[in-house]
Amino acid sequence: MIKYIIRRLLYMIPVLLGVSLIIFVLFNVVSGDPTAVLLGKNATAKQMIDLREQLGLNKSLFAQYLDVVKSAFTFDFGYSWATKQEISKMILQGALPSLCLSAPAFIISTILSLLISIFVAYYRGKGIDLFVRVFCIAGMSISALAYILFFQWFFAYKLGWFEISGFEASFPELISYIALPAIIWIVLSIGPDVRFFRTVILDEIYQDYVRTARSKGLSEIKILLQHVLRNALIPIITYVVIQIPSLILGALLLENFFSIPGLGGMTLNALNASDFPVMKAMAILSSVGYIIFGLISDILYTVADPRIKLK
């Protein structure tokens, strides 16, 4: 397994080279000159030329690409062009609020969805199953914006149960700021999660080994929890683990509406300000995140199903 992990980690090298190339082409070649935006509405032509020189935009394209590759492998992202802040510090400051919202919301929504899925799989074909499916589809059909606007107005403003917006890193004040966006996250996630988990569980329920277990006289609930769920875990692990890197990247809409100073808002600001170093850092970090969590999900397969060997 060690060999497998090392090999997968080595795969990161070509992946990062590819990602660096895509980022470089997208932001340096396609998006054009950022100096006018960076210098503001009164920028002079001379100042734009000087800034291009200072930012290294006059270097050959290959030399500029090498700079991107270097930062992708050293994780030294330098300073933001727009805010002049150190990017690693910006990311650290933004990651905490993003995780404060996304981590508990993600864990609760995953557990809740799994429980609901097992419940409806147990009562498959019955009224409650139909009701949950209709409820999930109806829930998914409503835009996230509608949930945010209504929940914020009703629960925070009308009922006053939560803060309308803002963020406090200290506990327990944090709860009153994070609870409402976290609830919205859960409501938004339950629909697609339950539909996916239910399908995966039902796929297993009709397998031969389940019929064997039934014929041996095992109870339906025991079959569901001990046998079906264990075998259904592989796609569930893939589905869940691969979402983890996006938790760090934050939830743009929720962060914006609830004034949570997370990474989602930071990335959007960088995009609007032609802040290439910040966009580059976020793109590289998310690709690394996806590679690492992809590897973790592979390792978890072996835990969920000992028949799987990583070679």
Partner 1 sequence: MIKSIVSFLFGIFFLFSSCSKDRSFDERELHLISPEKIAGFDPIHASDNYSANEMGKVYEGLFEFHPLKRPYELVPNLAESLPLVSDDGLTYSFKIRAGVHFHDSPAFKDGKGRELKSDDFLYSLKRLADPKLQAKGWWLLDDKIVGLNEWRNKYVAAESSNYGDEIEGLRKIDDYTFSIKLKKPYPQFLYALAMPYTFVVAKEAVEHFAKEFLNHPVGTGPFVLPVFEQTNRIVYTKNPTFREKFYPSEGEEGDDKSGLLADAGKKIPLVDKIIVDIIVESQPKWLSFQKAKADLLEIPKDNFDTAVIAGKDLSPELRSKGIRLFANPQLDVTFFAFNHDDPLFKNKKLRQAMSIAWNRDEANKLFYNKAAIEAQSVIPPGLGGYRKEFKNPYIKFDIDQAKKLLAEAGYPQGKGLPEIKIETRNETVARQLIEHFAKNLDRIGIKIKVSMNTWPELINKVTKRQHQMYTMAWGADYPDAENFLGLLYCPYSSPGSNGANYCNPDFDNLFKMATVLQDGLERNTLYEKMNEMVAVDVPWIFGFNRTKFYLSQAWVRNYKFMEFNHSQFQYLNVDLEVKKELSKKF
**Contacts to partner 1 by CB under 8 A:** 31-34, 36-48, 50-51, 53-54, 79, 82-86, 90, 93-94, 97, 149, 152-153, 156-157, 160-167, 169, 172-176, 179, 256-261, 265-266, 269, 271-274
**Would you say 6 or 149 has its CB closer to partner 1?**
149
Least spacing, CB of residue 100 vs partner 1, in Å: 12
d(CA 232, CA 227): 9
**Would you say 79 or 290 has its CB closer to partner 1?**
79
Residue 96 tokens, joined: 């905490």
**Would you say 274 or 287 has its CB closer to partner 1?**
274
Task: Say whether the peptide bond before residue 235 is cis (omega within 30 degrees of 0).
Answer: no
**Would you say 18 or 166 has its CB closer to partner 1?**
166
d(CA 225, CA 210): 12
**Would you say 48 or 242 has its CB closer to partner 1?**
48
Provide the b/e sequence for 57-74 (b: ≥16 CB within 10 Å): eeeeeeebbebbeebbee
d(CA 66, CA 142): 45
Residue 124 tokens, joined: 């498959």
Residue 187's closest CA among 240, 155, 246, 144?
144
Least spacing, CB of residue 46 vs partner 1, in Å: 8
Collapsed DSSP state (helix, strand, coil) of residue 146: helix
Least spacing, CB of residue 277 vs partner 1, in Å: 14
Least spacing, CB of residue 122 vs partner 1, in Å: 19
Least spacing, CB of residue 183 vs partner 1, in Å: 10
DSSP structural state of residue 65:
H
**Would you say 13 or 29 has its CB closer to partner 1?**
29
Least spacing, CB of residue 50 vs partner 1, in Å: 6
Q: Which residues lie closer than 8 Å to 131 by C-beta, 6 or more apart?
A: none
Least spacing, CB of residue 143 vs partner 1, in Å: 14
Residue 274's closest CA among 30, 68, 20, 16?
30
**Would you say 50 or 220 has its CB closer to partner 1?**
50
d(CA 145, CA 210): 42
